[in-house]
């Protein structure tokens, strides 16, 4: 007598459709960070720039939840407000690099005449380390939010262009694209209707990595003193100011570093999870 067959396939499909724990955890952390940035005035105990010389370098207490810095400013309030700059920089860099890199990648992948010119320019930009290019741009101009976004965005554009170009070259070999060409479909229509949709899924995943990289780069620039001015609280500025007292007051660096690490880790985990869900090849590997 044979054993009954268990419904393995429906269970597998149900498991694939359920959100992975990394997605849930990442979304919780990111949602908390967004709420922290949007409602910073309501969540903060003090103004992030309020000075109190009598409360310099105080440890955590019921008044100052995370302690105070060398100027007597509330560290908790400054960390809360620092989320605003990081999220704005990440969003601006991710959106700008895709808006510029997507059309360049489409042109390079479809028109061979544009390919040689565009890709040589991209290769030249990739030859320069991103952090050094960002430092040079900020040093030559007035440091500010827009300047920092542009400085971090430029090194990310070649990555987007190369990704889009590779997807376009792969899509050109598909039968539906060849059929559209034989039917005399104009190039703009063919690109917008058949080629651009093939780049949506990888661009979504790439945007998450760019977002995380931009946040980390902005913190590095601020830590080095070439980012946004010290009058604006950012996680990098807070760590830069606290490093002088790290041996005696390590919480000045620990708290912004922990929040920064959690934010970047959650974005990267979300990107990995989206890659597994959006890439059919990645789905097949788990079976």
Domain edges within the chain: 20-45+72-279
pLDDT in tens, 117-176: 999 999 888 888 888 888 888 888 877 888 899 999 999 999 999 999 998 888 887 777
Q: Mean pLDDT lowest for which of 15-19, 95-99, 260-264?
A: 15-19
Token pair listed for 55 = 């409360």
CB 92 within 8 A of CB 156: no
How sure is the predictor about 279, in pLDDT bands with cuts at 50, 70 and 90? low
Contact 80, 32 (CB under 8 A): no
For residue range 187-236, list pLDDT tens digits in order.
778 878 888 888 888 899 899 999 999 999 999 988 888 888 777 888 98
Nearest of 131, 44, 32, 137 to residue 87 by alpha carbon? 32
Res. 244: pLDDT tops 50: yes
Strands (DSSP E) contained in the chain are: none
* Number of other residues whose CB lies within 10 A of the CB of residue 53: 7
The pLDDT confidence band at residue 36, using thresholds 50, 70 and 90, is very high
Q: What is the pLDDT of residue 32?
A: 92
Tell which residue, 64, 76, 56, 48, has the closest CA to residue 255: 76
* 3-state secondary structure at position 68: strand
SS (H, E, C) 205-266: HHHHHHHHHHHHHHHHHHHHCCCCCCCCCCHHHHHHHHHHHCCCCCHHHHHHHHHHHHHHHH
78-91 pLDDT, tens digit per residue, is 999 999 998 999 99
Residue 105: pLDDT above 60? yes
Supply the pLDDT for residue 174.
78
User: Do the beta carbons of residue 164 and residue 203 sit within 8 Å?
Assistant: yes
Residue range 172-186: mean pLDDT, rounded: 77
List the structure tokens of 216. Answer: 């980390």
255: nearest Cα among 87, 75, 77: 75
Poorest-pLDDT segment among 1-15, 105-119, 166-180: 1-15
Contact 72, 255 (CB under 8 A): no
Q: Does the structure show a pLDDT above 60 at 8?
A: no
Reduce the DSSP state of residue 1 to 3 states and report it.
Answer: coil
Q: Give residue 101's pLDDT band: very low, low, confident or very high (50, 70, 90).
A: very high
CATH fold of 20-45+72-279 reads: MetI-like fold (1.10.3720)
């Amino acid at each position: 007598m044979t054993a009954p067959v268990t419904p393995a396939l429906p269970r597998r499909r149900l498991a694939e459709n359920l959100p992975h724990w990394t997605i849930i955890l990442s979304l919780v952390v990111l949602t908390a960070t967004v709420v922290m940035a949007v409602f910073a005035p309501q969540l903060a105990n003090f103004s992030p720039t309020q000075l109190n010389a009598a409360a310099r370098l105080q440890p955590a207490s019921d008044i100052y939840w995370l302690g105070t810095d060398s100027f007597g400013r509330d560290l908790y309030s400054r960390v809360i407000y620092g989320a605003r700059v990081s999220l704005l920089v990440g969003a601006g860099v991710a959106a700008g690099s895709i808006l510029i890199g997507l059309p360049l990648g489409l042109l390079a992948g479809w028109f061979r005449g544009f390919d040689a010119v565009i890709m040589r320019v991209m290769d030249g930009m990739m030859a320069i380390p991103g952090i050094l290019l960002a430092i040079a741009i900020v040093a030559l101009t007035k440091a500010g939010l827009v300047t920092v976004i542009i400085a971090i965005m430029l090194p990310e554009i070649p990555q987007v262009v190369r990704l889009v170009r590779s997807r376009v070259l792969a899509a050109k070999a598909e039968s539906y694209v060849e059929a559209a060409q034989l039917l005399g479909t104009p190039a703009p229509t063919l690109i917008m209707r058949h080629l651009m949709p093939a780049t949506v899924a990888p661009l979504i995943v790439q945007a998450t990595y760019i977002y995380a990289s931009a946040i980390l780069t902005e913190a590095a620039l601020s830590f080095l003193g070439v980012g946004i001015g010290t009058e604006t609280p950012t996680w990098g500025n807070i760590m830069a100011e606290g490093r002088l007292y790290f041996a005696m007051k390590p919480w000045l660096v620990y708290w912004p570093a922990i929040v920064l690490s959690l934010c970047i880790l959650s974005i990267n985990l979300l990107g990995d999870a989206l890659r597994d869900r959006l890439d059919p090849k990645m789905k097949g590997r788990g079976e």
